[in-house]
Amino acid sequence: MLASGSPRRRELLERSGLAIVVRTTDVDESIPAGEAPTDHARRLAVLKRRAVPVEPTEVILAADTIVEFGGEVMGKPEGPEQAAEMLRRLAGRTHRVHTAVSAARGTREAEILVTTEVTMDSLTEATIDWYVLGGEPLDKAGSYAIQGQAAAFVRSVNGSVSNVIGLPLVETFGMLEGIGVDLETLRCAPPGAPG
């Protein structure tokens, strides 16, 4: 059970061969004054997981990804102007992407936090305008998608690339196994496999 409406998380899990069901609810994602970015991500992942009803035998997974630059959370832009401003701030600099993941099966629960450092290349105003005009950054935290056109803007990644997309797969699978989930029982047959 994936407690997330993120198409990127769903795609990452499905490409890894897992059969999933998406079930989401709305949670208040506002940031209380003084809450650290990593604490914010952790709190939201747990809230999202707990907000979705599950059967005792079901495995539920929830996550929250944030982009942090200079101690500030850079959420999804409210429009093209804000997207362009975020990209200007990130250009030529290093920022952090934090993903908190919360999982449960019955009474067993686990949470992890994975941080990846991303260094962006310098960006010209023309490049920023082109990218924003295409619309890709408008629903992305930090105003970019590393798996999309913005891959050409990323100079280096220190850590999990799937974390930057929205779900650190290696760490998530390790956490699931740690609470007694047999991943093989969740896997679909590979494409083209005999039926």
* pTM to 2 decimal places: 0.91
Domain hosting 88: range is: 7-186
In a domain, 86, yes or no: yes
Number of domains in the chain: 1
Is residue 125 one of the residues assigned to a domain?
yes
From the list 64, 121, 129, 182, the catalytic residue is 64
| Domain assignment of residue 142, yes or no | yes
CA 101 – CA 95 distance, rounded (Å):
20
Residues forming a β-bridge with 100: 64, 113
64 is an active site residue: yes
Asked whether residue 193 is assigned to any structural domain, the reply reads no
Asked if residue 194 is part of any domain, the answer here is no
Q: State percent of the chain over pLDDT 90.
A: 74
- Give mean pLDDT, residues 44-50: 95
Please report whether residue 54 resides in a domain: yes
Taking the C-alpha atoms of residue 92 and residue 96, their distance in angstroms, rounded to an integer, is 14
Which residues 6+ apart lie within 8 Å of 27 measured at CB? 44, 47, 48, 51
Average pLDDT (106-131) is: 97
In the structure, what pLDDT confidence band is assigned to residue 194 with cuts at 50, 70 and 90?
low
CA–chain centroid gap for 21, Å, is 17
**3-class state of residue 108 by DSSP:** strand
Average pLDDT value for residue range 125-137: 96
Residue 160 tokens, joined = 């999990």
What CATH number is given to the structural domain containing 17? 3.90.950.10
Q: Does some domain include residue 191?
A: no
**Is the confidence at residue 26, as pLDDT, over 70?**
yes
Contact 97, 118 (CB under 8 A): yes
- Report if residue 47 sits inside a domain: yes
